[in-house]
Amino acid sequence: MIQADSDSSRRVAYFYNRLIGKFHYGKEHPMKPKRIAMAHSLIVNFGLYRSLDVYLIREAQLEELKKFHDPEYVTYLSQYMSENKVNFVKEYCSTNNDGVIPENLLEEYKLITKWSQNKSSKNLNTEYKVGDSADNPTFQGLFSYCQFSAGASIDCAHTILTGQADIAINWSGGLHHAKKKEAAGFCYINDIVLCILELLRIYVRVLYVDIDCHHGDGVEEAFYLTNRVMTLSFHQYGDDFFPGTGQLNSVGLGVGRYYAVNVPLKPGISDGPYLELFKKVTSRVMETFRPDCVVIQCGADSLSLDRLGALNLSIKGHGQCITYMKQFGVPLILLGGGGYTIQNVSRCWAYETGICLGQNIDEPIPANDIYYQNYKGDYHLHFPIQENVENRNKSEDLNKIVSQVYDHLKNLEN
Ligand code: V1S
Ligand code: CA
Ligand code: ZN
């Protein structure tokens, strides 16, 4: 049964495009865009879509991406796509057309081939970290994938700014590691930074909260020198865990000093201690920073049983972070992010879509869901809590983090 809470009146904008689930980083790669299609399917089959304002995701244009990213990096990513196209056209012609280029593709083919031949001999892939490691491979449609992810996060900002929504959701966003001119950690274009820049056109202060188990380094770096964006990341830290940044004492620089907040954690933290910490930190941040809008990166790799992360949250625990932020009554933007046990990612993001609407979904996966077989073995929406995982965060360590964060926040100007 779906239970509605008292404030189901909030308008929720939800961004989706069925093409998102078709992109593929490669067979061995842990990032699976299919999880977004799986989440969407649950959102539809649980009936949540009836209460959402559903928007079709569009592709962000090059000029929009250049608002944060280096123009040459954006051009490179877009042209790489064109190279893909040349290969596609060549393949198409050799198999279907005896090598003859169809007239409608000829002009484009010539232009792209010319660019490919003229491009400088230095290895652009290495410079921009695209395709030079297993983390950020090139794949068919890469640039469109980036354009969709960014287009939706930018439009989330627009629905909030224009008052069309109180909460906006883009599960295909949250790609928090991308830098100004560098891909990193499965991220190529930083949709979050683009979303926040859009919000800053009108709003004075924006709070960014990141519950992905990795440090939100790309977003932190982009706003490290400003006092208009506070970045707050909870993440696993230590033993060479990626990306290796996000120490408690990384607090920002210049006027941005104390506007970066980091909560580094050891493996195994469960709902109880995580939520206690989350509430203590976010309540003080909300009180001192008083943001006009909150952007939450909802990476689901902080869930128990994730393929990469080693935190131990349940879906309900992860969702309580959203419930807690919602009760401040400030406009919210929810973005996706990591999450590598894909059946749990889709469960989690469908559940959190319900939270935004004030609808608490709790039933088993509907049998008519097209991805039903992916949940084989456990058709419940919530997986059982892992009792046998050791929480390596002592309560003294967590208390120390809270008191350090409070000390830092005391330095904020009023
Ligand atoms: N942890 C981890 C991990 N696993 C992989 C990986 C595994 C198989 C592949 F075929 C490709 C990649 N890479 C990593 C991490 C990057 C994690 C990115 C998380 C992204 C996010 O959830 O925060 C947001 C979407 N990379 C590394 O640890 C770097 C290496 C140091 C080790 C792995 N090799 C592949 C690259 C170098
Ligand atoms: Ca994080
Ligand atoms: Zn992550």
pLDDT in tens, 227-271: 999 999 999 999 999 999 999 999 999 999 999 999 999 999 999
Residue 8 pLDDT > 80: no
Ligand 2 centroid, distance to 395 Cα (angstroms): 20
CB-based contact 313:271 (threshold 8 Å): yes
DSSP character at residue 60:
P
**How far is the C-alpha of 303 from the C-alpha of 311, rounded, in Å?**
6
Domains in the chain: boundaries? 3-55+144-409
- Closest-lying ligand 1 atom to the alpha carbon of residue 301: 22
Q: DSSP strand E in 37-162: where?
A: 53-56
pLDDT in tens, 106-115: 766 666 666 5
Query: What type of residue sits at position 159?
Result: T
Residue 51 pLDDT > 80: yes
**Pocket of ligand 1 from Cβ distances under 6 Å:** 28-30, 133-135, 175-177, 185-187, 212, 214, 242, 299, 301, 308, 337-338
**How far is the C-alpha of 401 from the C-alpha of 396, rounded, in Å?**
9
Model confidence at 103, pLDDT cuts 50, 70, 90, reads confident
Quick one: what percent of the chain has pLDDT higher than 90?
85
Residue nearest to atom 29 of ligand 1 (CA): 242
Phi, psi of 180 (to 5 degrees): -50, -45
Write out the two tokens for 49: 């879509």
Angle at 190 between CA 184 and CA 192, to 5 degrees: 135
CB-based contact 390:312 (threshold 8 Å): no
CATH no. for 3-55+144-409: 3.40.800.20
- Closest-lying ligand 1 atom to the alpha carbon of residue 176: 24
**In whole angstroms, what separates CA 394 from the centre of its chain?**
29
User: Residues with Cβ within 5 Å of ion ligand 3?
Assistant: 212, 214, 299, 301, 338
Q: Probe ligand 1: pick from 153, 189, 239, 242, max atoms within 8 Å of CB?
A: 242
- Say yes or no: ipTM exceeds 0.90: yes
Nearest residue to 152 (alpha-carbon basis) of 279, 271, 61, 16: 16
Angle between the N-to-C axes of helices 271-289 and 315-326, in degrees from 0 to 180, rounded to the nearest 10: 20
Model confidence at 5, pLDDT cuts 50, 70, 90, reads low
Return the residue matching tokens 């907040």. Answer: 261
Model confidence at 56, pLDDT cuts 50, 70, 90, reads very high
**How far is the C-alpha of 343 from the C-alpha of 245, rounded, in Å?**
29
Alpha helices per DSSP H over 200-304:
217-222, 271-289
Residue 102 pLDDT > 60: yes
pLDDT in tens, 15-50: 999 999 999 999 999 999 999 999 999 999 999 999
Helix H or strand E segment including 72: helix 71-96
Choosing from 69, 176, 177, 215, which is the catalytic residue?
Answer: 177
CB-based contact 77:143 (threshold 8 Å): yes
Ligand 2 centroid, distance to 234 Cα (angstroms): 4
pLDDT given at position 79: 86
Which ligand neighbours the alpha carbon of 186 most closely? 1
Ligand 3 centroid, distance to 140 Cα (angstroms): 23
Residue 211 pLDDT > 50: yes
